[in-house]
Amino acid sequence: MAKERDKMMDPIKRAAADLAKSNYAIALTGAGISTESGIPDFRGPSGIWTKDPEAEKRAYQSYAKFQRNPKEYWEDRLAGPSLLGDLKKMAPNPGHYALAELERMGILKCVITQNIDNLHQKAGSKRVLDYHGNAFKLRCVSCGGRFEDREFDLQRLRNADQLPPLCRGCGGVLKSDVVHFHEPIPADVAQQSLVEAGKCDLMLVCGTSAVVYPFALLPRAAKQRQLGKETILIEINAEPTPLTEEMVSDYLIQGKTGQILPKIAEEVKRITKTS
Ligand SMILES: [Zn+2]
């Protein structure tokens, strides 16, 4: 009755034991892990769009505008208040650091995040797939190449009437790496994420209700791809989610990722030292 015994265990210890036994663990993360760093969500009571419905309208039009007129798209972005300026001030929280620590220990192989805030990288995670892009990068729409935004002096290009910025590899037009509404997920990231989901034997789903498609496919793909092989799916979230309700996840540890993930990492450290 191993299953019954597992259910009786302290969920933190259970998750740590599962991680220690895993061969290829990965993590999916969403807005919940970043709200603890003070990054506002979009639709919550004090969300960015709840307070500024016009900003939401503009966000929905960004991609069409880029396709129609990249120069105008960049002029608009540079004229408005800078989300990037705000994001630069944000620091990772203990949840981000715990995932980076698990990677250093050789347990966690990859983080796939819906967040565009770069906080996993800041916390020291090396293998990060930015599923919805990264606010600190620009992406070439022709070759898919990515560049750090600090490599470009966008205000200077604007003053010199030289927008949009161009790719240093192929001369193609650059847009923000952030995936806008109605924009497909970049093919490389979508492909690599599916490979990771198919490969993993343990998936931590942290701070996301996984309802936004196609990201929401990843936990489901992880469960289906492993025929004859058990993939353990552990949710860490403030509330139950559709993954909990549809029993896609094996168990939910309910609470703040910034409190739970460090405890799990500590426990993994303890058991991998003594065994
Ligand atoms: Zn290019």
Backbone torsions φ then ψ of 124, nearest 5 degrees = 110, 0
Our CA dihedral for 92, 96, 134, 38, rounded to 10 degrees, sits at -40
Q: Output the CA 174–ligand 1 centroid distance in Å.
A: 8
Beta partners for residue 128, in sequence order: 111
- Triad 144, 146, 148: Cα angle to 5°: 165
Percent of the chain at pLDDT > 70 equals 92
Out of 96, 120, 132, 180, the active site residue is 132
- pTM exceeding the 0.75 threshold for the entire prediction: yes
Q: What type of residue is 127?
A: R
Number of other CB atoms surrounding residue 51 within 10 Å: 11
pLDDT (average), residues 255-273: 96
Residue 228 confidence (pLDDT): 66
Q: Model confidence at 7, in pLDDT bands (50, 70, 90)?
A: low
CA dist 67 and 31 (Å) reads 28
Q: Output the CA 159–ligand 1 centroid distance in Å.
A: 23
pLDDT (average), residues 101-105: 98
User: pLDDT tens digits, residue range 227-261?
Assistant: 666 899 999 999 999 999 999 999 999 999 999 99
Answer yes or no: 132 catalytic.
yes
Whether 166 and 210 have beta carbons less than 8 Å apart is answered as no
Q: Output the CA 86–ligand 1 centroid distance in Å.
A: 28
Q: Output the CA 125–ligand 1 centroid distance in Å.
A: 26
Q: Model confidence at 5, in pLDDT bands (50, 70, 90)?
A: low
Which letter does DSSP use for residue 128 in this model?
Answer: E
User: pLDDT tens digits, residue range 108-151?
Assistant: 999 999 999 999 999 999 999 999 999 999 999 999 999 999 99
